[in-house]
């Protein structure tokens, strides 16, 4: 039977750059010890107090269909949190609860783009972005950022690609680079969205993981609340990746239509998960600090290890659970380097090429194993890179 073009072309063809990841998983399944620094899964689990609330709520009967827009309690909780953090007036009518940030990304593009409109996104990018945009019927168009600019986007380069665009998707703190966009960058992006009449889809799922400075939500910039759809999630902030609970915050009219979309797609999020999320978001900062602290510590460890050598470069990482390492001095591509590191030292990292062309010659390291093993793995990676670089120099 013929399958739709939309579903068969989600990936856009070509290698998806995830071969190293799958190879590492196979090696582990075969019983080999592999140090895995690949995907963004925490090495801790959801806090017992959050699970206790999930259990209490389910036993109290919240196992039936929940309200499609989200429970009033969670919508109010998210609205209050966003208003406190950004100063932008926000009520439950600005909030739709979704099954995770991923569903929110898809719904936001459904709201912003008609079939054939261009959805812009920035390279390097989180792996699902182009497929999400195509899935919503739009044309996914990447705008390059540059390692030389520490992957801060350049508004002029975005403007050059903006013909036919209805939306621009950004992500700060950024996966895969760990970069946090500066106020200047975000102001320029906001200006261009207003000039070109674009929706800004702002993926802020890492907003509690900031190591330097503060998170700035572009919805708070002048004139942006009417054209920004913010994507949030419990996954990263509270180690609740499996609970599938996220949200979109945006203008009331957009949220009304998005609720209608949810009725015809996801039909909401389980009530006991939403109760657990409401509890987690109001239980004080300790819960999210407990999740963020190990990454903050490991990022400091990484800076120490990297400061002792000069082959591997570190893109200044101010947030999120990843580091982007520049291994171009080895003369290898990120993919060849990652494969060789896996074969030689059983350390798995993601090739930069998995995240687009802009991160070629880089590898992404997830800071998701315990401190000692993390520091040792980075040390080994640096020594390996130095050996490769001296071989390249001798050739
Ligand atoms: N955006 C980014 C940048 C991510 O890294 C992820 C998860 N890795 C998501 C969105 C989606 O997260 P979730 O669906 O678990 O909320």
Residue 237 in contact with ligand 1 by CB distance below 6 A? no
State in Å: Cα 206 to ligand 1 middle. 8
Whether the CB-CB separation of 228 and 250 falls below 8 Å is answered with yes
pLDDT over threshold 80, residue 72: yes
Q: Count CA atoms within 13 Å of residue 36 on its CB side.
A: 18
Which ligand 1 atom minimizes the distance to the CA of 233? 16
Which of 101, 122, 123, 247 maximizes ligand 1 atoms within 8 Å of its Cβ, making it the mutation to test the pocket? 101
At residue 40, the pLDDT reads 82
- Of 39, 175, 354, the residue with max ligand 1 atoms within 8 A of its CB, to mutate for a pocket test, comes to 175
Vertex 31: Cα angle to 15 and 321 (nearest 5): 55
In the chain, list all ranges with CATH 3.90.1150.10.
Answer: 5-45+286-394
- Give span(s): CATH 3.40.640.10, the chain: 62-284
Distance from the CA of 107 to the center of ligand 1, in angstroms?
14
Confidence at residue 16, expressed as pLDDT on a 0 to 100 scale = 65
Fold of 62-284: 3.40.640
Percent of the chain with pLDDT over 70: 99
Measured at the CA of 196, the angle between CA 193 and CA 199, to 5 degrees, comes to 45
Q: Is 246 in the pocket of ligand 1 (CB under 6 A)?
A: yes
Task: Evaluate whether 387 touches 352 at the Cβ level (below 8 Å).
Answer: no
How does strand 246-249 pair with strand 95-98? antiparallel
Cβ of residue 101 lying under 6 Å from some atom of ligand 1: yes
pTM of this prediction exceeds 0.85:
yes
Main-chain dihedrals φ then ψ at residue 284, nearest 5 degrees: 100, 165
Instruction: With a cut of 90, say whether residue 392 has pLDDT above it.
Output: no
Cα–ligand 1 centroid distance for 253 (angstroms): 25
Sign of the torsion angle spanned by Cα atoms 177, 178, 180, 186: positive
| pLDDT tens digits along 226-269 | 999 999 999 999 999 999 999 999 999 999 999 999 999 999 99
Q: Answer yes or no: is the C-beta of 173 below 6 A from any ligand 1 atom.
A: no
- Residue 13: pLDDT band (50, 70, 90) is low
Cβ of residue 102 lying under 6 Å from some atom of ligand 1:
yes
What is the distance in A from the centroid of ligand 1 to the CA of 391?
39
Hey, which of 40, 41, 236, 319 would you mutate to test ligand 1's pocket, going by the most ligand atoms within 8 Å of its Cβ? 236
The CATH code of domain 5-45+286-394 reads: 3.90.1150.10
Q: Read out DSSP for 140-206?
A: EEEEE--GGGTT---HHHHHHT-TTEEEEEEESS-TTT-----HHHHHHHHHHHHHTT-EEEEE-TT
Phi, psi of 71 (to 5 degrees): -70, 150
Which residue's CA is the closest to the ligand 1 atom numbered 5? 175
Answer yes or no: is the C-beta of 174 below 6 A from any ligand 1 atom.
no
Lowest mean pLDDT among 3-12, 45-54, 252-261: 3-12
Instruction: Tell which one of 206, 233, 273 to mutate to probe ligand 1, the residue whose CB is within 8 A of the most ligand atoms.
Output: 233
Interval 266-294 mean pLDDT: 97
The CA distances from residue 352 to 119, 154, 336, in Å, are 22, 20, 11
Is any atom of ligand 1 closer than 6 Å to the C-beta of 98?
A: no
Average pLDDT, the chain: 96
The strand pairing partners of 96, in sequence order, are 248
* C-alpha distance across the termini of the chain, in Å: 54
Residues in the chain: 395
**CA dihedral of 316, 317, 318, 319, whole degrees rounded to 10:** 160
Question: Which of 99, 124, 135, 131 is closest to 320 using CA atoms?
Answer: 124
- Distance between Cα 209 and ligand 1 center (Å): 13
Q: Is the CB of 235 under 6 A from ligand 1?
A: yes
Q: What is the pLDDT of residues 121-179, one digit of tens each?
A: 999 999 999 999 999 999 999 999 999 999 999 999 999 999 999 999 999 999 999 99
Q: At what angle do helices 334-345 and 371-394 cross, to 10 degrees?
A: 120
How many other C-beta atoms are found inside a 10 Å radius of the C-beta of residue 33? Answer: 7
């Amino acid at each position: 039977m013929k399958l739709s073009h939309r579903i068969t072309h989600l990936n856009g063809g070509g290698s998806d750059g995830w071969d190293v990841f799958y190879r590492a998983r196979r090696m582990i399944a075969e019983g080999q010890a592999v140090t895995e620094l690949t995907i963004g899964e925490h090495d801790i689990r959801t806090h017992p107090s959050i699970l206790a609330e999930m259990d209490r709520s389910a036993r109290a009967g919240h196992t039936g269909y929940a309200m499609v827009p989200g429970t009033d309690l969670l919508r109010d909780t998210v609205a209050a949190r966003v208003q406190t953090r950004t100063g932008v007036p926000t009520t439950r009518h600005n909030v739709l609860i979704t099954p995770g940030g991923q569903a929110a990304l898809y719904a936001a593009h459904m709201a912003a783009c008609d079939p054939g409109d261009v959805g812009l996104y920035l390279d390097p990018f989180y792996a699902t972005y182009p497929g999400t945009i195509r899935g919503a019927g739009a044309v996914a168009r990447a705008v390059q950022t540059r390692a030389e600019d520490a992957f801060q986007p350049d508004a002029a380069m975005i403007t050059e690609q903006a013909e036919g665009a209805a939306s621009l998707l950004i992500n700060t703190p950024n996966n895969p680079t760990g970069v946090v966009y500066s106020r200047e960058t975000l102001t320029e992006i906001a200006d261009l969205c207003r000039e070109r009449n674009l929706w800004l889809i702002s993926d802020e799922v890492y907003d509690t993981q900031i190591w330097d400075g503060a998170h700035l939500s572009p919805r708070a910039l002048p004139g942006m609340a009417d054209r920004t759809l913010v994507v949030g999630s419990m996954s990263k902030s509270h180690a609740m990746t499996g609970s599938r609970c996220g949200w979109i915050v945006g203008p009331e009219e957009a949220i009304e239509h998005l609720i209608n979309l949810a009725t015809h797609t996801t039909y909401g999020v389980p009530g006991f998960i939403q109760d657990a999320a409401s509890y987690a978001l109001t239980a004080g900062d300790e819960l999210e600090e407990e999740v963020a602290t190990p990454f903050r510590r490991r990022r400091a460890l990484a800076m120490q290890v990297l400061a002792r050598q000069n082959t591997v470069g570190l893109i200044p990482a101010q947030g999120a659970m990843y580091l982007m390492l520049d291994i171009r001095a080895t003369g290898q591509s990120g993919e060849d380097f990652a494969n060789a590191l896996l074969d030689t030292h059983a350390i798995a990292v993601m090739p930069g090429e998995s995240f687009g062309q802009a991160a070629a010659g880089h590898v992404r390291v997830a800071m998701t194993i315990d401190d000692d093993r993390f520091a040792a793995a980075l040390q080994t990676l640096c020594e390996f890179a130095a050996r490769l670089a001296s071989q390249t120099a001798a050739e």
